[in-house]
Amino acid sequence: MGDALTHGVLIPGVEVGEGFAYGVNYAIMTSGLLALFAADFTRFARRERDLVPISLVGSLFAVVTYLFGALITYFGFEQSVAYFSTMGYDAAGAAHAAITNPGVSLVLAAGGVGLAIICLSQMKVETSNSIGGANAVSNLFDSLFGVKLSWPAAVVVANAIGLLFILGGILDQVNAFMSFGSILTISWCVLLVTDYYLVRGPLRIGSRGLLLDEAESVNWRGVATIAAVSAVNGVLYATGAVAVPFVTTAPMTAALYVGLSWLARDRVRAREAARRAAAGARDAEAPAAVDAAPCDEDAAAAPE
Protein backbone atom coordinates (compact mmCIF):
# COMPACT_ATOMS: atom_id res chain seq x y z
CA MET A 1 0.00 0.00 0.00
CA GLY A 2 2.91 2.32 0.69
CA ASP A 3 4.15 1.94 -2.87
CA ALA A 4 0.69 2.79 -4.21
CA LEU A 5 0.77 6.10 -2.33
CA THR A 6 4.36 7.09 -3.07
CA HIS A 7 5.05 5.93 -6.64
CA GLY A 8 5.93 8.44 -9.34
CA VAL A 9 4.39 8.99 -12.75
CA LEU A 10 3.75 5.65 -14.43
CA ILE A 11 3.59 6.87 -18.03
CA PRO A 12 7.03 7.11 -19.69
CA GLY A 13 7.98 10.61 -20.81
CA VAL A 14 5.48 12.41 -18.56
CA GLU A 15 6.96 14.75 -15.98
CA VAL A 16 5.61 15.03 -12.44
CA GLY A 17 4.27 18.55 -12.97
CA GLU A 18 2.50 17.58 -16.18
CA GLY A 19 0.91 14.53 -14.59
CA PHE A 20 -0.16 16.50 -11.53
CA ALA A 21 -1.70 19.24 -13.69
CA TYR A 22 -3.63 16.65 -15.70
CA GLY A 23 -4.95 15.09 -12.49
CA VAL A 24 -5.99 18.48 -11.12
CA ASN A 25 -7.75 19.38 -14.38
CA TYR A 26 -9.59 16.06 -14.37
CA ALA A 27 -10.69 16.55 -10.76
CA ILE A 28 -11.88 20.07 -11.54
CA MET A 29 -13.85 18.88 -14.55
CA THR A 30 -15.58 16.09 -12.65
CA SER A 31 -16.29 18.45 -9.75
CA GLY A 32 -17.97 20.83 -12.16
CA LEU A 33 -20.00 18.01 -13.66
CA LEU A 34 -21.03 16.84 -10.20
CA ALA A 35 -22.18 20.34 -9.32
CA LEU A 36 -24.20 20.65 -12.52
CA PHE A 37 -25.70 17.17 -12.21
CA ALA A 38 -26.55 17.72 -8.55
CA ALA A 39 -28.38 20.93 -9.42
CA ASP A 40 -30.33 19.09 -12.11
CA PHE A 41 -31.14 15.92 -10.17
CA THR A 42 -32.03 17.57 -6.88
CA ARG A 43 -34.77 19.70 -8.39
CA PHE A 44 -36.99 16.73 -7.60
CA ALA A 45 -36.14 16.90 -3.88
CA ARG A 46 -39.04 17.57 -1.55
CA ARG A 47 -37.29 20.21 0.53
CA GLU A 48 -34.65 22.77 -0.36
CA ARG A 49 -32.50 21.83 2.63
CA ASP A 50 -32.17 18.30 1.20
CA LEU A 51 -29.96 19.64 -1.58
CA VAL A 52 -26.86 20.06 0.59
CA PRO A 53 -26.65 16.50 2.00
CA ILE A 54 -27.42 15.02 -1.41
CA SER A 55 -24.60 17.00 -3.01
CA LEU A 56 -22.18 16.22 -0.18
CA VAL A 57 -22.86 12.49 -0.36
CA GLY A 58 -22.31 12.54 -4.12
CA SER A 59 -19.00 14.37 -3.71
CA LEU A 60 -17.88 11.98 -0.96
CA PHE A 61 -18.57 8.93 -3.08
CA ALA A 62 -16.75 10.57 -5.99
CA VAL A 63 -13.62 10.86 -3.83
CA VAL A 64 -13.98 7.22 -2.75
CA THR A 65 -14.31 6.23 -6.40
CA TYR A 66 -11.13 8.13 -7.26
CA LEU A 67 -9.20 6.34 -4.51
CA PHE A 68 -10.38 2.86 -5.42
CA GLY A 69 -9.86 3.55 -9.12
CA ALA A 70 -6.31 4.71 -8.46
CA LEU A 71 -5.53 1.62 -6.38
CA ILE A 72 -7.00 -0.73 -8.98
CA THR A 73 -5.06 1.01 -11.73
CA TYR A 74 -1.79 0.85 -9.81
CA PHE A 75 -1.95 -2.79 -8.76
CA GLY A 76 -3.15 -3.89 -12.19
CA PHE A 77 -0.82 -1.61 -14.11
CA GLU A 78 1.73 -4.19 -15.23
CA GLN A 79 -0.93 -6.63 -16.42
CA SER A 80 -2.75 -3.89 -18.32
CA VAL A 81 0.46 -2.63 -19.95
CA ALA A 82 1.28 -6.16 -21.06
CA TYR A 83 -2.23 -6.55 -22.47
CA PHE A 84 -2.15 -3.31 -24.45
CA SER A 85 1.40 -4.05 -25.64
CA THR A 86 0.13 -7.22 -27.30
CA MET A 87 -2.36 -5.04 -29.18
CA GLY A 88 0.41 -3.04 -30.85
CA TYR A 89 0.81 -0.10 -28.46
CA ASP A 90 4.29 1.26 -27.78
CA ALA A 91 5.52 1.65 -24.19
CA ALA A 92 4.07 5.13 -23.67
CA GLY A 93 0.80 4.28 -25.42
CA ALA A 94 0.34 1.05 -23.46
CA ALA A 95 1.02 2.85 -20.17
CA HIS A 96 -1.40 5.64 -21.06
CA ALA A 97 -4.09 3.15 -22.05
CA ALA A 98 -3.58 1.23 -18.80
CA ILE A 99 -3.95 4.41 -16.73
CA THR A 100 -7.08 5.58 -18.51
CA ASN A 101 -8.82 2.18 -18.57
CA PRO A 102 -9.05 0.96 -14.97
CA GLY A 103 -11.85 -1.38 -16.00
CA VAL A 104 -9.37 -3.41 -18.03
CA SER A 105 -7.12 -3.71 -14.98
CA LEU A 106 -10.02 -4.92 -12.86
CA VAL A 107 -11.12 -7.50 -15.42
CA LEU A 108 -7.58 -8.80 -15.92
CA ALA A 109 -7.03 -9.04 -12.17
CA ALA A 110 -10.43 -10.35 -11.04
CA GLY A 111 -11.69 -12.19 -14.10
CA GLY A 112 -15.44 -12.80 -14.14
CA VAL A 113 -16.00 -10.95 -10.88
CA GLY A 114 -14.23 -7.89 -12.26
CA LEU A 115 -16.26 -8.11 -15.45
CA ALA A 116 -19.51 -8.24 -13.46
CA ILE A 117 -18.46 -5.20 -11.41
CA ILE A 118 -17.58 -3.26 -14.54
CA CYS A 119 -20.90 -4.17 -16.19
CA LEU A 120 -22.85 -3.01 -13.14
CA SER A 121 -20.78 0.16 -13.00
CA GLN A 122 -21.40 0.91 -16.66
CA MET A 123 -25.13 0.33 -16.19
CA LYS A 124 -25.12 2.94 -13.43
CA VAL A 125 -23.09 5.37 -15.54
CA GLU A 126 -25.33 4.87 -18.55
CA THR A 127 -28.43 5.46 -16.44
CA SER A 128 -27.11 8.73 -15.02
CA ASN A 129 -25.89 9.82 -18.46
CA SER A 130 -29.30 9.06 -19.95
CA ILE A 131 -31.03 11.11 -17.26
CA GLY A 132 -28.63 14.02 -17.63
CA GLY A 133 -28.73 13.87 -21.42
CA ALA A 134 -32.51 13.65 -21.50
CA ASN A 135 -32.79 16.66 -19.20
CA ALA A 136 -30.42 18.61 -21.43
CA VAL A 137 -32.30 17.68 -24.61
CA SER A 138 -35.66 18.49 -23.02
CA ASN A 139 -34.44 21.89 -21.81
CA LEU A 140 -32.84 22.63 -25.19
CA PHE A 141 -36.01 21.95 -27.17
CA ASP A 142 -38.12 23.87 -24.68
CA SER A 143 -35.81 26.90 -24.67
CA LEU A 144 -35.09 27.15 -28.38
CA PHE A 145 -38.27 25.87 -30.01
CA GLY A 146 -40.92 25.98 -27.28
CA VAL A 147 -41.45 22.24 -27.74
CA LYS A 148 -41.99 20.14 -24.63
CA LEU A 149 -40.63 16.67 -25.35
CA SER A 150 -42.03 13.74 -23.45
CA TRP A 151 -39.56 11.98 -21.17
CA PRO A 152 -39.29 8.81 -23.36
CA ALA A 153 -38.69 10.93 -26.46
CA ALA A 154 -35.98 12.95 -24.70
CA VAL A 155 -34.24 9.74 -23.57
CA VAL A 156 -34.33 8.34 -27.11
CA VAL A 157 -32.95 11.54 -28.63
CA ALA A 158 -30.18 11.82 -26.02
CA ASN A 159 -29.05 8.23 -26.52
CA ALA A 160 -29.24 8.56 -30.30
CA ILE A 161 -26.90 11.56 -30.10
CA GLY A 162 -24.58 9.53 -27.87
CA LEU A 163 -24.51 6.65 -30.35
CA LEU A 164 -23.68 9.05 -33.18
CA PHE A 165 -20.78 10.41 -31.15
CA ILE A 166 -19.52 6.88 -30.49
CA LEU A 167 -19.79 5.95 -34.17
CA GLY A 168 -17.91 9.15 -34.97
CA GLY A 169 -14.97 8.03 -32.84
CA ILE A 170 -15.48 10.46 -29.98
CA LEU A 171 -14.20 7.93 -27.44
CA ASP A 172 -10.71 8.38 -28.85
CA GLN A 173 -10.96 12.09 -28.02
CA VAL A 174 -12.33 11.77 -24.48
CA ASN A 175 -8.96 12.00 -22.78
CA ALA A 176 -8.01 15.00 -24.88
CA PHE A 177 -11.27 16.64 -23.82
CA MET A 178 -10.63 16.23 -20.09
CA SER A 179 -8.59 19.38 -19.65
CA PHE A 180 -10.77 21.44 -21.99
CA GLY A 181 -13.78 20.02 -20.19
CA SER A 182 -12.45 21.50 -16.95
CA ILE A 183 -12.50 24.91 -18.64
CA LEU A 184 -16.05 24.50 -19.90
CA THR A 185 -17.63 23.07 -16.76
CA ILE A 186 -15.92 25.42 -14.33
CA SER A 187 -16.80 28.42 -16.49
CA TRP A 188 -20.40 27.25 -16.46
CA CYS A 189 -20.47 26.73 -12.69
CA VAL A 190 -18.80 30.07 -11.95
CA LEU A 191 -21.26 31.80 -14.27
CA LEU A 192 -24.25 30.28 -12.46
CA VAL A 193 -22.91 31.34 -9.07
CA THR A 194 -22.03 34.82 -10.33
CA ASP A 195 -25.42 35.26 -11.96
CA TYR A 196 -27.41 34.29 -8.87
CA TYR A 197 -25.34 35.72 -6.04
CA LEU A 198 -23.87 38.83 -7.67
CA VAL A 199 -25.64 39.90 -10.85
CA ARG A 200 -29.17 39.16 -9.63
CA GLY A 201 -28.17 39.95 -6.05
CA PRO A 202 -26.41 43.21 -5.17
CA LEU A 203 -26.33 44.46 -8.78
CA ARG A 204 -30.10 43.89 -9.24
CA ILE A 205 -29.67 43.04 -12.92
CA GLY A 206 -32.54 40.60 -13.16
CA SER A 207 -34.54 39.00 -10.38
CA ARG A 208 -34.30 35.77 -8.44
CA GLY A 209 -37.11 33.25 -8.12
CA LEU A 210 -38.65 33.89 -11.53
CA LEU A 211 -41.36 31.61 -12.81
CA LEU A 212 -40.47 29.65 -15.92
CA ASP A 213 -42.56 31.80 -18.28
CA GLU A 214 -40.99 34.95 -16.81
CA ALA A 215 -37.39 33.86 -17.44
CA GLU A 216 -35.51 34.51 -20.65
CA SER A 217 -35.33 31.55 -23.02
CA VAL A 218 -31.60 31.95 -23.65
CA ASN A 219 -29.18 33.96 -21.55
CA TRP A 220 -27.05 35.26 -24.40
CA ARG A 221 -24.75 37.10 -21.99
CA GLY A 222 -23.96 33.75 -20.41
CA VAL A 223 -23.54 31.99 -23.74
CA ALA A 224 -21.14 34.67 -24.97
CA THR A 225 -19.20 34.55 -21.71
CA ILE A 226 -18.74 30.78 -21.72
CA ALA A 227 -17.83 30.74 -25.42
CA ALA A 228 -15.26 33.52 -25.11
CA VAL A 229 -13.69 32.29 -21.87
CA SER A 230 -13.52 28.69 -23.11
CA ALA A 231 -11.90 29.74 -26.38
CA VAL A 232 -9.30 31.99 -24.75
CA ASN A 233 -8.37 29.55 -21.99
CA GLY A 234 -8.38 26.65 -24.44
CA VAL A 235 -5.70 28.46 -26.43
CA LEU A 236 -3.75 29.32 -23.27
CA TYR A 237 -3.80 25.69 -22.20
CA ALA A 238 -2.97 24.29 -25.64
CA THR A 239 0.04 26.59 -25.98
CA GLY A 240 1.30 25.70 -22.51
CA ALA A 241 0.84 29.20 -21.12
CA VAL A 242 -1.43 27.87 -18.36
CA ALA A 243 -1.11 24.37 -16.90
CA VAL A 244 -4.27 24.50 -14.76
CA PRO A 245 -6.89 26.54 -16.66
CA PHE A 246 -9.09 26.92 -13.58
CA VAL A 247 -6.70 29.60 -12.31
CA THR A 248 -7.64 31.91 -15.18
CA THR A 249 -11.06 30.54 -16.15
CA ALA A 250 -12.86 31.34 -12.89
CA PRO A 251 -11.92 35.03 -12.58
CA MET A 252 -12.30 35.65 -16.32
CA THR A 253 -15.81 34.18 -16.30
CA ALA A 254 -16.93 36.24 -13.33
CA ALA A 255 -15.41 39.47 -14.64
CA LEU A 256 -16.67 39.12 -18.22
CA TYR A 257 -20.19 38.12 -17.20
CA VAL A 258 -20.50 40.97 -14.71
CA GLY A 259 -19.22 43.39 -17.35
CA LEU A 260 -21.64 42.21 -20.04
CA SER A 261 -24.53 42.24 -17.57
CA TRP A 262 -23.70 45.77 -16.47
CA LEU A 263 -23.56 47.01 -20.05
CA ALA A 264 -26.93 45.39 -20.82
CA ARG A 265 -28.54 46.17 -17.45
CA ASP A 266 -31.27 48.47 -18.79
CA ARG A 267 -32.23 46.07 -21.55
CA VAL A 268 -32.25 43.09 -19.17
CA ARG A 269 -34.50 44.88 -16.68
CA ALA A 270 -36.86 46.17 -19.37
CA ARG A 271 -37.25 42.77 -21.02
CA GLU A 272 -37.81 41.06 -17.69
CA ALA A 273 -40.53 43.58 -16.82
CA ALA A 274 -42.15 42.99 -20.21
CA ARG A 275 -42.11 39.22 -19.72
CA ARG A 276 -43.64 39.60 -16.27
CA ALA A 277 -46.37 41.85 -17.65
CA ALA A 278 -47.12 39.38 -20.43
CA ALA A 279 -47.22 36.48 -17.97
CA GLY A 280 -49.54 38.46 -15.69
CA ALA A 281 -51.83 39.26 -18.60
CA ARG A 282 -52.02 35.58 -19.54
CA ASP A 283 -52.81 34.64 -15.95
CA ALA A 284 -55.56 37.26 -15.83
CA GLU A 285 -57.08 36.09 -19.11
CA ALA A 286 -57.24 32.44 -18.10
CA PRO A 287 -59.86 32.83 -15.28
CA ALA A 288 -61.87 35.24 -17.42
CA ALA A 289 -62.01 32.71 -20.23
CA VAL A 290 -63.14 30.01 -17.82
CA ASP A 291 -65.88 32.25 -16.38
CA ALA A 292 -67.08 33.24 -19.83
CA ALA A 293 -67.37 29.66 -21.05
CA PRO A 294 -70.91 28.22 -20.53
CA CYS A 295 -71.16 25.24 -18.25
CA ASP A 296 -72.79 22.03 -19.42
CA GLU A 297 -76.14 22.77 -17.76
CA ASP A 298 -76.33 26.27 -19.24
CA ALA A 299 -75.44 24.94 -22.65
CA ALA A 300 -78.15 22.28 -22.42
CA ALA A 301 -80.78 24.81 -21.31
CA ALA A 302 -79.92 27.34 -23.98
CA PRO A 303 -82.58 27.65 -26.71
CA GLU A 304 -81.70 26.28 -30.09
Q: Report yes or no on 197 lying in a domain.
A: yes
pLDDT given for residue 87 in this prediction = 86
pLDDT given for residue 299 in this prediction = 47
> Are 94 and 11 part of one and the same domain?
yes
Residue 304 has pLDDT above 60, yes or no: no
> Are 103 and 182 part of one and the same domain?
no
Please, what's the largest Cα pairwise distance for the chain?
94
Average pLDDT, the chain: 81
Domain of residue 266: give its range: 174-278
Residue 8 has pLDDT above 60, yes or no: yes
Last residue of a domain, one of 83, 110, 137: 110
Give CA–CA dist 180/245, Å, rounded: 8
Number of folded domains in the chain? 2
> Are 274 and 196 part of one and the same domain?
yes
DSSP state for residue 294 in the 8-state scheme: P
Q: Report yes or no on 178 lying in a domain.
A: yes
Print the SS3 string covering 195-248. HHHHHCCCCCCCCCCCCHHHCCCCCHHHHHHHHHHHHHHHHHHHCCCCCCCHHH
Q: Report yes or no on 299 lying in a domain.
A: no
Give every CB contact of residue 89 below 8 A, 6+ residues apart in sequence. 97
Last residue of a domain, one of 68, 94, 110: 110
Q: Report yes or no on 204 lying in a domain.
A: yes
Q: Report yes or no on 133 lying in a domain.
A: no
Q: Report yes or no on 248 lying in a domain.
A: yes
pLDDT in tens, 221-248: 999 999 999 999 999 988 988 888 888 9
Quick one: CA torsion of 14, 15, 18, 24, rounded to 10 degrees?
100
What is the Cα gyration radius of the chain? 25
Q: Report yes or no on 136 lying in a domain.
A: no
pLDDT given for residue 296 in this prediction = 52
Question: Which range (53-57, 152-156, 254-258, 293-297) has the least confidence?
Answer: 293-297
Q: Is the pTM of this model over 0.75?
A: no
Give CA–CA dist 239/236, Å, rounded: 5
Q: Report yes or no on 19 lying in a domain.
A: yes
pLDDT given for residue 129 in this prediction = 80
Last residue of a domain, one of 110, 129, 158: 110
Question: Which range (25-29, 79-83, 261-265) has the least confidence?
Answer: 25-29
Residue 75 has pLDDT above 90, yes or no: no
> Are 6 and 104 part of one and the same domain?
yes
> Are 95 and 193 part of one and the same domain?
no
